[in-house]
Structure 1
Amino acid sequence: MFAQDWTIQDQDDSSFVLERCAGINDFLANMTDQFDFTPSAAVVETAPLQDARLAAATFAVADLYVSATGRDSNPGTYDKPLATITRAVALSDPGDVVSVRGGTYNAIANIWKGGTKDNPLTIQAQAGETVILDGRGLASNKDLVSITASYVTFEGFEVRNATRSGISVYAAHDVTISNNEVENSKRNGIWIGGWKEGQSYNQVVENNVVHDNVLENSAKNGRRLGARDRH
């Protein structure tokens, strides 16, 4: 038995607290027949332990983290996140979940490495946070999110101002694109296709909001194509 606070209650319901008595074991051995001993309070976890368990419960699904304040030289943990999706993909293994924290990212996301049928690679915006991928000022004629690997899920992002397509899938299969908003792309909001390298098939595109894209036509025709559509 450890020395800690105990409430000692006698038969007349009067009570007192014995505080951290060094000789409590001997005392209790002599008083067992006269008193009922119960802990005065449950042991409470320390704040750091509670915080650690909360973090584990909230973020256990992710294997790699990306943050607008991260560095690509980091290992990709929650405390030391990466800076780009492209670097996270390079470090990923089949079945991994890449969680991107809230913020604005001004870099191309090159998803060139995927998963397997039973263990797809998932790239997702952190739940409850707004993640914006913004192509403003990047090299011309580049897809902002380029998926060239199979068994990939990409979900939960705002993709805007691409200098070519917002999200493209090229010569890949079994890709899921869901719950994204894609706007103000120079060409297509979401484009899927293939050519000599192979065909694209078995794709799922669902619950995306795609609007105000194909901006290159607005300059030609004096109007903007790509009205607000839901897929």
Structure 2
Amino acid sequence: MRFSSPRTRGRPLGALRLALAAAVLVPFAAVAPAQPAAAQARTLTVATDGSDSGPGTVAAPLRTIQRAVDLAGPGTVIRIRGGTYDPDVNIRIEKSGTPSQPITMRAYDGEHVAIDGENMPNTPAPSGESYPRVERGAIHVSGDWWRFEGLEIVNGPYGIFAIESSNNVY
């Protein structure tokens, strides 16, 4: 996963803040062997021109990453087509995979995927002020047994905010 230097309204904050947040918030990421494709139960596809009323196939992809997360269960692979996704609230992961069937969120066949948190609340948060924990992170993880592969996260209130979760691979 690549993290770009965060920017707020055109002014770079520097990669140090994001790196520090990732080091503090995600210190227990597990490295587990990859699951063979045959072990995966379901595949959902997301594209910038999709529709959340669709089935999430390559021919009829979903529009939002959150909808794919909501539909996912153990063993699901969420494949995100290239493009920039700019949700106005963070992507909330509150469900879990299992040790034998983690849930995977990855870029579609090496395409470039950017999740841009510029439109999220508290981007930027006023200096020295706090905001609700559930709003932290462009991707907010409180589930277990997830894998995140090939995603770029820019702007937003932290990149990934993981709390009370375990056995995730970032």
Q: TM-score surpassing 0.5? A: yes
2:99 match: secondary structure: coil
Contact 2:82 2:111 survives alignment (8 Å): yes
**Displacement of 1:67:** 0.4
**Displacement of 1:61:** 9.3
In structure 1, the gaps of 5 or more residues are 1-59, 178-231
Matched, 1:139 2:139: no
Aligned residues: CA RMSD: 1.8
Aligned to 1:33: none
Paired residue type of 1:139: P
Paired residue type of 1:125: A
For residues 64-213 of structure 1, what are the structure 2 equivalents within 5 Å? Answer: 64-107=44-87, 108-140=90-122, 142-162=136-156, 164-177=157-170
- The normalised TM-score by structure 2 is 0.64
Output the CA distance in 1 between the equivalents of 2:136 and 2:52. Answer: 21
1:168 match: secondary structure: strand
Contact 1:113 1:148 survives alignment (8 Å): yes
Output the CA distance in 1 between the equivalents of 2:166 and 2:54. Answer: 31
Paired residue type of 2:115: L
Contact 2:110 2:150 survives alignment (8 Å): no
Once the two structures are superposed, residues 52-84 of structure 1 have per-residue CA deviations (whole angstroms, 9 ceiling, x without a partner) of xxxxxxxx9961000011111111111111111
- The normalised TM-score by structure 1 is 0.48
**Displacement of 1:149:** 0.4
Q: Which has the higher contact order (CA 8 A, sep 6+)?
A: 2
**Displacement of 1:110:** 1.6
Output the CA distance in 2 between the equivalents of 1:137 and 1:84. Answer: 15
Output the CA distance in 1 between the equivalents of 2:119 and 2:44. Answer: 27
Once the two structures are superposed, residues 5-30 of structure 1 have per-residue CA deviations (whole angstroms, 9 ceiling, x without a partner) of xxxxxxxxxxxxxxxxxxxxxxxxxx
Paired residue type of 1:126: Y
Output the CA distance in 2 between the equivalents of 1:86 and 1:116. Answer: 20
Query: How many residues are treated as equivalent by the alignment?
Result: 117
Which structure would you say has the larger Rg? 1
In structure 2, the gaps of 5 or more residues are 1-39, 123-134
**Displacement of 1:127:** 1.9
Contact 2:41 2:75 survives alignment (8 Å): no
Contact 1:111 1:147 survives alignment (8 Å): yes
**Displacement of 1:114:** 2.1
Percent identical residues: 37
Output the CA distance in 1 between the equivalents of 2:80 and 2:117. Answer: 17
Paired residue type of 2:112: T
Distance 1:100 1:61, change over 3 A: farther
